[in-house]
Chain A
């Protein structure tokens, strides 16, 4: 068999649930886990005579996201009906946008290992209403819950610019960070706030000839893991299939598959031949959306620095490690808190350590975000300064932070109360050192002997001093005194 070489092409459709209080076209509350069919009204139930009215917040969120994804925002967009019959779709059409989406021609930059960025083009982003849920767990019939019906979804479609499953995952994760940063979506995977549909095919070169495999769309993936694994699986499957059958892309041999989590495999989904005749047409119940300069600028003013840019800045500006920068920037509230603490005079690296080593754990444990934890950025700054001045040790600082959360007291109060203030008083330390030397003649002898033994002995003696002071001796000063005494 002649040696084959191949290139993977993946485009991604992302459905992102917007973080509005109410549904897209009615006032029903978006409540995850509410009693089935309890958040339904004549509009989202598709009752005869009911009419939709646009949720302004959802439209503005979509435009904001579009701007953050470097898209053009057309001055005119409209609504269309997409017709298909399914029990979770009460009107048997979905209100969506067909030929005039809210956002066009943008890109997302995904970070690469070498710290550079790769541009993934975005074809379009349009707003639409979600369907309800069909449940098939009840035995020989299905159940329908319409609480989700009418939820605003932003569908973001990329060009086939990704070449590995890892890249696709990176894009999805970057998108999650972006929409969370903007506050336009909670992007909570557990709650199905993000759903992915990758379009995958290969360009295979065999004996200098190029072949394209048929495009496969994998439907409704709701975890990063499933996204990545399904693509890896498809790459292998399409390659094998090509080698077996030599089938290549032609009109109409695009197929849809589902991801079987148990089998860790994609499975073909049969579709009716008329399934793709959606009979789109402009929804006569809704009027167009016109976006003028003033409105657009007003929305632009809500943009913020995006996570990947922030991460780079933290590395450059604050000298943080790529890892630490990543942790701090993955959540906007953490990043804001960090920068406030730095502004308040905290040394960045030490503030970073306080947050990453103690703060975030405490917040997680309490299921709140860092800002809700209690201590203000200024307190963290103060704590950082105390460690820097050597008044307390780094470990002590973490302990103090924990106590601050419990008691709400200031760093200074707690440092004294828990006597974690490091002893720097030479006189006091000298007597302790003398005592240690007196009780450890052997170590002193080893030291004097010199050579490799002396280093060990010094460390041992210093350890004894720290022990006697229960770790509160300022190690720098203690070792100076030790050196002085030993050289006498």
Chain B
């Protein structure tokens, strides 16, 4: 079964050709059938969702003007706080945590009259690129259940790809929306840092984290961004709309960008495997046919992005995750001998390997004697990388490159080699360091019928243009219409 797009469903519900209850029940029927195979969700809220759908249908019947997502079943990554259900971050340490507040994006989804059907799986605390680091369950790739969905938002991308919800929210710290979107053949957008409120998003790397949509189409992506974007007084790092206005991302979506200049970093595809390179090249050809011109750009510092990222992200993480100590909430070890053991044992029992590894790495990078050599150095390199983009965007409207060097890899393939896993983030990380937006859109399949994603990066707060550029390609192709058969 193939789901209609968010926009189509919303319009049908509004026109009362179908109902939210019908759509929501259909989704849960499909979840009952497929979810046991996919494992996309940590929690689902069937009764509550259907009740809400019914209430929305009633309001529509009553002639009420409803929100942009009226009646549409959506999912949120389980690192966004909700007063309903649990907020686990796929970690044993928060397995039973009930947030006393809703994340700002959750409030916005509810205000848009969306129906939140469940919370999706992720690498524990969003640390990973395969969702294999979930402390609670395994999510597989709907295109090949022996393979990973990517990560860390693998639950959200697998759910959308498998038609278990119409759209979802993910979070992206080093590629955690774009990479799994690419590996699952869906659209994933990481907005500009500060475009979407982080309030209620459980922090991994606070200066890098950003929430974004995971959808079937670019148009749905624009709709979702319309709902979640905007300034939030509860997040000091969400940008004032006087500085960067939020526009209606649907308004000009279908207007192609004229005289589009695409930046290509010299030899930057080198690291990607050959089938991925081919798909990217063909995508760029398609843009050429649409009148785009290619500009060679020089990104001398991109080779250092992974090094800088893993210092900045883990340093912030080591501090952000210090609060999980078994004192005020979350898992506490049984019969500790003293209060120090409440810390050391609760954390040892509650955190998975990758989380421990990154806490150790970040603690080391911040510890006395190493701060300058690792953390401070990384902040300087970060600045150089930002400079690369600033200079590049003087010459082009956007930059195109692969999202990931490979298509979906086998479950277990990389778990024993963390560095190898880190290196697979090579194409996505720079956007987080520079704070710029990036999108992944389906651009083909390899010979194993595994999806490939095209990544498009653009200047800070140019999401409108970015979505228009992505839309130009989507209109020319139907990769996004392909769905896995499960």
Asked if A and B are interacting partners, one says yes
Identify the A interface with B (CB < 8 A). 42, 45-54, 81, 83, 85, 87, 90-93, 142, 144, 146, 276-277, 279-281, 284-287
| CB interface residues, B 195-211, toward A, < 8 Å | 198-203, 205-207
The CA of A255 and the CA of B357, in the complex, are separated in Å by 34
Q: B100 to A87, Cβ gap below 8 A?
A: no
For B207, the closest partner residue in chain A by CB is: A284
- Give the residue of A45, A52, A85 whose beta carbon is less than 8 angstroms from that of B325: A85
Knowing A279-B363, A281-B366, the reply to whether A42 touches B322 (Cβ < 8 A) is no
Interchain nearest-CB distance for B268 vs A (Å): 28
- Give the residue of A49, A81, A85 whose beta carbon is less than 8 angstroms from that of B199: A49
Q: A285 to B371, Cβ gap below 8 A?
A: no
Interchain nearest-CB distance for A25 vs B (Å): 9
The CA of A48 and the CA of B371, in the complex, are separated in Å by 26
Q: A42 to B101, Cβ gap below 8 A?
A: yes
The CA of A50 and the CA of B368, in the complex, are separated in Å by 28
The CA of A144 and the CA of B342, in the complex, are separated in Å by 14
Knowing A85-B325, A87-B327, the reply to whether A285 touches B236 (Cβ < 8 A) is yes
Q: B343 to A287, Cβ gap below 8 A?
A: no
Known: A85-B343, A285-B203. 5 other contacts (CB 8 A): A45-B328, A48-B94, A81-B319, A85-B322, A281-B319
For A92, the closest partner residue in chain B by CB is: B322
The CA of A284 and the CA of B204, in the complex, are separated in Å by 11
The CA of A471 and the CA of B97, in the complex, are separated in Å by 80
For A54, the closest partner residue in chain B by CB is: B236
B449 CB–A CB distance under 8 Å: no
Q: List 17 A-B contacts (CB under 8 A).
A: A45-B328, A45-B329, A46-B323, A47-B81, A48-B81, A48-B97, A49-B99, A49-B200, A85-B343, A91-B323, A92-B322, A92-B323, A146-B328, A279-B363, A281-B319, A284-B316, A287-B237
Q: B319 to A51, Cβ gap below 8 A?
A: no
Q: B199 to A47, Cβ gap below 8 A?
A: no
B273 CB–A CB distance under 8 Å: no
For A276, the closest partner residue in chain B by CB is: B368
Q: A281 to B203, Cβ gap below 8 A?
A: no
Of the four ranges (under 10, 10 to 19, 20 to 34, 35 or more), the interface on chain B belongs to 35 or more
The CA of A462 and the CA of B198, in the complex, are separated in Å by 87
Q: B366 to A279, Cβ gap below 8 A?
A: yes
The CA of A45 and the CA of B215, in the complex, are separated in Å by 35
Interchain nearest-CB distance for A287 vs B (Å): 5
Knowing A277-B367, A279-B363, A281-B371, the reply to whether A51 touches B323 (Cβ < 8 A) is no
Which residues of B sit under 8 angstroms from A285, Cβ to Cβ? 203, 206, 236-237
Interface contact tally, CB-CB below 8 A: 100
Which residues of B sit under 8 angstroms from A81, Cβ to Cβ? 319
Interchain nearest-CB distance for A84 vs B (Å): 9
The CA of A54 and the CA of B328, in the complex, are separated in Å by 24
For A85, the closest partner residue in chain B by CB is: B343
Q: A277 to B368, Cβ gap below 8 A?
A: yes
Interchain nearest-CB distance for A374 vs B (Å): 44
Q: A48 to B207, Cβ gap below 8 A?
A: no
Interface majority SS on B: helix, strand, loop or mixed? loop
Which residues of B sit under 8 angstroms from A91, Cβ to Cβ? 322-323
Q: B234 to A83, Cβ gap below 8 A?
A: no
The CA of A49 and the CA of B97, in the complex, are separated in Å by 12
Which residues of B sit under 8 angstroms from A46, Cβ to Cβ? 323, 328
Q: B322 to A53, Cβ gap below 8 A?
A: no
Q: B319 to A279, Cβ gap below 8 A?
A: yes
For A132, the closest partner residue in chain B by CB is: B328
Knowing A45-B328, A48-B81, the reply to whether A284 touches B206 (Cβ < 8 A) is yes
B375 CB–A CB distance under 8 Å: yes
Q: B367 to A279, Cβ gap below 8 A?
A: yes
The CA of A280 and the CA of B205, in the complex, are separated in Å by 16
Which residues of B sit under 8 angstroms from A92, Cβ to Cβ? 322-323, 325
Identify the B interface with A (CB < 8 A). 79-81, 87, 89, 94, 97, 99-101, 103, 198-203, 205-207, 233-237, 315-316, 318-319, 322-323, 325, 327-329, 339, 343, 363, 366-368, 371, 375
Which residues of B sit under 8 angstroms from A45, Cβ to Cβ? 328-329
Q: B327 to A48, Cβ gap below 8 A?
A: no
The CA of A50 and the CA of B87, in the complex, are separated in Å by 13
Knowing A48-B202, A49-B200, A51-B198, the reply to whether A83 touches B315 (Cβ < 8 A) is no
Which residues of A sit under 8 angstroms from B81, Cβ to Cβ? 47-49
Interchain nearest-CB distance for A55 vs B (Å): 12
Which residues of A sit under 8 angstroms from B237, Cβ to Cβ? 51, 284-285, 287
Knowing A87-B327, A93-B319, A279-B319, the reply to whether A49 touches B202 (Cβ < 8 A) is yes
Which residues of A sit under 8 angstroms from B363, Cβ to Cβ? 279
Which residues of A sit under 8 angstroms from B103, Cβ to Cβ? 49
Interchain nearest-CB distance for A9 vs B (Å): 26
- Give the residue of A49, A93, A280 whose beta carbon is less than 8 angstroms from that of B322: A93
Which residues of A sit under 8 angstroms from B235, Cβ to Cβ? 51, 53
Q: B325 to A47, Cβ gap below 8 A?
A: no
The CA of A37 and the CA of B257, in the complex, are separated in Å by 56
The CA of A279 and the CA of B359, in the complex, are separated in Å by 13
Q: B206 to A48, Cβ gap below 8 A?
A: no
Q: A47 to B236, Cβ gap below 8 A?
A: no
Which residues of A sit under 8 angstroms from B325, Cβ to Cβ? 85, 92
The CA of A317 and the CA of B328, in the complex, are separated in Å by 59
The CA of A54 and the CA of B237, in the complex, are separated in Å by 12
For B208, the closest partner residue in chain A by CB is: A284
Which residues of B sit under 8 angstroms from A85, Cβ to Cβ? 322, 325, 343
The CA of A90 and the CA of B363, in the complex, are separated in Å by 18
The CA of A151 and the CA of B206, in the complex, are separated in Å by 23
Which residues of B sit under 8 angstroms from A47, Cβ to Cβ? 81, 99-101, 329
The CA of A50 and the CA of B99, in the complex, are separated in Å by 10
Which of B79, B205, B325, B371 has the most chain A CB atoms inside 10 A of its CB? B325
The 3 closest A-B pairs by CB, nearest first: A92-B322, A284-B207, A284-B206
Interchain nearest-CB distance for A144 vs B (Å): 7
Interchain nearest-CB distance for B82 vs A (Å): 10
Interchain nearest-CB distance for A311 vs B (Å): 43
The CA of A93 and the CA of B324, in the complex, are separated in Å by 12
Which residues of A sit under 8 angstroms from B318, Cβ to Cβ? 279
Q: B234 to A53, Cβ gap below 8 A?
A: yes
Which residues of B sit under 8 angstroms from A286, Cβ to Cβ? 236
The CA of A52 and the CA of B99, in the complex, are separated in Å by 17
Which residues of A sit under 8 angstroms from B328, Cβ to Cβ? 45-46, 90, 144, 146
Which of B97, B99, B322, B371 has the most chain A CB atoms inside 10 A of its CB? B322
Which residues of B sit under 8 angstroms from A90, Cβ to Cβ? 323, 327-328
Q: A53 to B319, Cβ gap below 8 A?
A: no
Which residues of B sit under 8 angstroms from A51, Cβ to Cβ? 198-199, 234-237
Which residues of A sit under 8 angstroms from B316, Cβ to Cβ? 281, 284
The CA of A83 and the CA of B201, in the complex, are separated in Å by 21
Interchain nearest-CB distance for A220 vs B (Å): 19
Which residues of B sit under 8 angstroms from A276, Cβ to Cβ? 368
For B312, the closest partner residue in chain A by CB is: A284
The CA of A90 and the CA of B320, in the complex, are separated in Å by 11
Interchain nearest-CB distance for B99 vs A (Å): 7
Which residues of A sit under 8 angstroms from B101, Cβ to Cβ? 42, 47, 50
Q: B339 to A142, Cβ gap below 8 A?
A: yes
Which residues of A sit under 8 angstroms from B205, Cβ to Cβ? 284
The CA of A42 and the CA of B82, in the complex, are separated in Å by 13
Interchain nearest-CB distance for B451 vs A (Å): 31
The CA of A99 and the CA of B319, in the complex, are separated in Å by 18
The CA of A276 and the CA of B201, in the complex, are separated in Å by 31
For B93, the closest partner residue in chain A by CB is: A48
The CA of A125 and the CA of B113, in the complex, are separated in Å by 49
For A43, the closest partner residue in chain B by CB is: B234
Q: B339 to A87, Cβ gap below 8 A?
A: yes
The CA of A429 and the CA of B192, in the complex, are separated in Å by 95
Interchain nearest-CB distance for A200 vs B (Å): 25
For B200, the closest partner residue in chain A by CB is: A49
Q: A281 to B323, Cβ gap below 8 A?
A: no
Which of A45, A51, A53, A85 has the most chain B CB atoms inside 10 A of its CB? A51
The CA of A231 and the CA of B202, in the complex, are separated in Å by 46
